[in-house]
Chain A
């Protein structure tokens, strides 16, 4: 006994036919055992039969478009089936398996499945919203207003739901399951990573006098975005991860390069770094206070850069 399976383009079984006889025919005509409604399939396309050795054989019975095995370029006329091949006739994928085909063992169901992810999502959401509220509170120097929290927090919640909903929809379309909770977890983890990075970068800019973390914040933001996009894509389907990774990496590199270019052009247009020089409570300072002479020695070093800028400007003007 064999089973003939018709697969979708996403390699999912859409129809299954049980063949008890020792021979079966596949084609578009009504004289076949399995009828395939594909205009690129011949009226009688394939014949499946058992040879003398008892091996199941597939044979093209003279179609114009031919028969192919997925992943092999050459046209096949007769081949033994192994249950794993995807046979392409016309635009249809067919898989043929014997009744004794070895399948994966039964997977054990997690005992109390939804509890942990739900708790995790709630915890992450509370952390993200709490951190945002704290940031707003610590930055508030004028009259406290409920709306300044409400607007920001509702904005975050809204963006989160739209983003997760979009990925759930894509997942539903392409893999049949929306996996809303897992997509939500990914998005929350992304926001949390970004928030923690931002606060850490701000702290470093002041406490250890290291402003690069803020200056290149945009690169971190793009990286986090790329990482969560990759995880979302993995949720949709684990197939071809390397391709998904490559696409995400390419988009990430392009985005960072474009923004770096845009920032350097803005710098030469407006002559100003688009960064704020941050202050924090004096108690947070980590690096020692510099001797005045050392500070002014560093500053004297800036002169060379300014003069180089002037030289470049003069050269540019002469060149025009």
Chain B
């Protein structure tokens, strides 16, 4: 029971839902227009190529987490999610991997390669010449029609192998990572399982579900799995220092993320007399908040906008990082005097470096610098009180969590509090972005 809770807790935390897929065989395509019999056929042929992947505590021999996976080559290579095997990848001395086939076979697994950015991993089974899944051609070319029926397989909640019917809904909009929107019930334990077409070809890999949504699930497009497979084919085992490899992949992915963020640039958004920098990137979710309807009646009005990128990246069970956030609050005094307004602004402007996970495991202490700054001595650029706080990642060279807070200092009765959170960023990138951010804070009176 305990294991089950661990499994559920883990899947919820990461927002990832593993789905176990039972493979179908070609012959499964027998009754067009009768999807349930297609599912039957797919499920019947799946057992030899469908796996449950268990991460075991090496000393205790018991599982600490469970996901799914599927065979993709005759020489025993299988695809799963990175988050299914991350413990074994990061702590190979503490954890080991084991598989259980849907057909009852079981044995050891060795890790061959990972793709952290796309949450994929390739593992090697100790059995050869088993049947395997092939990738769907149309899906690889992105030519899959919306509404196509998909079958996702896995071992939800360790209850046994299941097949879930759902629909392909194209790629997720406003997403930096390419993810297939799959409308179907993915559950914890199915991570790493395949989602296949009615003729049994893999379209994607089960990866996550949306907390609070209904049947809103996500797949990693199959082309990333195939690319990773091509990259690691012929490798006997994973590089010995997989931690370093994971750090390099993380750094490379973050660097391209922030490059793309910088390339998209900032566009001005009006907040009272201020022009605040908002991102032009489409992969941000933006929301507005106000305290206008608060009770008791607020003594200063606070209207804010918050934009968050959906670029959170699973690195370890206790480290999910990479979600950029831009927040602006326009504060205008109703009946507060200047000192009282300053107290309110003090509360709003505390720099909280956002880094998930236990501090001492992942980060160095935070170092801060604050000063009065002006981008230019013109009426359009208000003087700012700027606070910069940064912490380094202990394990990953060249990555830092940075937060920049700027409070406009041009008027004692109103102010703009702007905040830019840049988790897992290179220091020079952070400085360049911070500079552009400060320059874009403007005022028109």
Q: A209-B372, A271-B364, A289-B383 are in contact. Are A141 and B340 (CB under 8 A)?
A: yes
Query: 1/0 contact trace for B394-418 toward A, CB 8 Å?
Result: 1001001000000101111000000
**B409 & A271 in contact (Cβ 8 Å cutoff):** no
A314 beta carbon closer than 8 Å to chain B: yes
A310 vs B399: C-alpha distance in the bound complex, in angstroms?
A: 11
Chain A residues within an 8 Å CB radius of B390: 302-303, 306
Chain A residues within an 8 Å CB radius of B373: 289-292, 295
**A282 & B409 in contact (Cβ 8 Å cutoff):** yes
Q: Which residues of A contact B (CB under 8 A)?
A: 137-143, 209, 211, 267-273, 276-283, 285, 287-292, 295-296, 298-300, 302-303, 305-307, 309-310, 312-314, 317
Which residues of chain B from 262 to 297 have any CB-CB distance to chain A below 8 Å in the complex?
296
Chain B residues within an 8 Å CB radius of A281: 338-339, 341-342, 412
Q: How far is the CB of B428 from chain A (nearest CB, A)?
A: 8
Q: How far is the CB of A267 from chain B (nearest CB, A)?
A: 6
Q: Which residues of B contact A (CB under 8 A)?
A: 296, 299-300, 336-347, 349-351, 359-360, 363-376, 383, 385-388, 390-394, 397, 400, 407, 409-412, 427, 431, 434-435, 438-439
Chain A residues within an 8 Å CB radius of B336: 141
Chain B residues within an 8 Å CB radius of A140: 340, 343
Contact among B385, B393, B397 with A279 in the assembled complex (CB-CB below 8 Å)? B385
A142 vs B438: C-alpha distance in the bound complex, in angstroms?
A: 30
Chain B residues within an 8 Å CB radius of A299: 369, 388, 431, 434
Most chain-B Cβ atoms within 10 A of its Cβ — which of A279, A303, A314? A279
Looking at chain B's contact residues, the main secondary structure is: mixed
**A295 & B346 in contact (Cβ 8 Å cutoff):** no
Q: Can you list the 5 inter-chain pairs with the closest CB atoms, starting with the nearest?
A: A309-B364, A281-B338, A138-B339, A271-B365, A282-B409
A283 vs B342: C-alpha distance in the bound complex, in angstroms?
A: 11
Chain A residues within an 8 Å CB radius of B371: 209, 290, 295, 298
Q: A277-B370, A305-B367 are in contact. Are A139 and B434 (CB under 8 A)?
A: no
**B346 & A292 in contact (Cβ 8 Å cutoff):** no
Contact among B296, B337, B349, B438 with A277 in the assembled complex (CB-CB below 8 Å)? B349
Chain A residues within an 8 Å CB radius of B368: 273, 277
Q: A276-B346, A281-B342 are in contact. Are A309 and B392 (CB under 8 A)?
A: yes
**A276 & B388 in contact (Cβ 8 Å cutoff):** no
A276 vs B368: C-alpha distance in the bound complex, in angstroms?
A: 12
**B343 & A139 in contact (Cβ 8 Å cutoff):** yes
**B338 & A272 in contact (Cβ 8 Å cutoff):** no
Residue of A nearest to B372 (CB): A289
A139 vs B363: C-alpha distance in the bound complex, in angstroms?
A: 34
Q: How far is the CB of A215 from chain B (nearest CB, A)?
A: 11
**A282 & B411 in contact (Cβ 8 Å cutoff):** yes
Q: How far is the CB of A55 from chain B (nearest CB, A)?
A: 77
Residue of A nearest to B439 (CB): A292
Most chain-A Cβ atoms within 10 A of its Cβ — which of B347, B370, B388, B427? B370
Q: How far is the CB of B394 from chain A (nearest CB, A)?
A: 5
Q: How far is the CB of A235 from chain B (nearest CB, A)?
A: 38
**A143 & B369 in contact (Cβ 8 Å cutoff):** no
A211 vs B374: C-alpha distance in the bound complex, in angstroms?
A: 20
**A142 & B296 in contact (Cβ 8 Å cutoff):** yes
Chain A residues within an 8 Å CB radius of B439: 292
**B299 & A141 in contact (Cβ 8 Å cutoff):** yes
A139 vs B299: C-alpha distance in the bound complex, in angstroms?
A: 13
A299 vs B337: C-alpha distance in the bound complex, in angstroms?
A: 33
**B431 & A279 in contact (Cβ 8 Å cutoff):** no
Q: How far is the CB of B436 from chain A (nearest CB, A)?
A: 11
Additional 19 contacts, C-beta under 8 A, given A139-B343, A269-B359, A282-B383: A138-B337, A141-B341, A271-B365, A277-B370, A279-B345, A279-B346, A281-B341, A282-B410, A287-B372, A289-B383, A290-B373, A292-B375, A292-B376, A295-B371, A295-B373, A298-B369, A306-B364, A306-B400, A317-B394
A299 vs B434: C-alpha distance in the bound complex, in angstroms?
A: 10
Q: How far is the CB of A290 from chain B (nearest CB, A)?
A: 5
Q: A277-B351, A296-B435, A305-B367 are in contact. Are A142 and B299 (CB under 8 A)?
A: yes
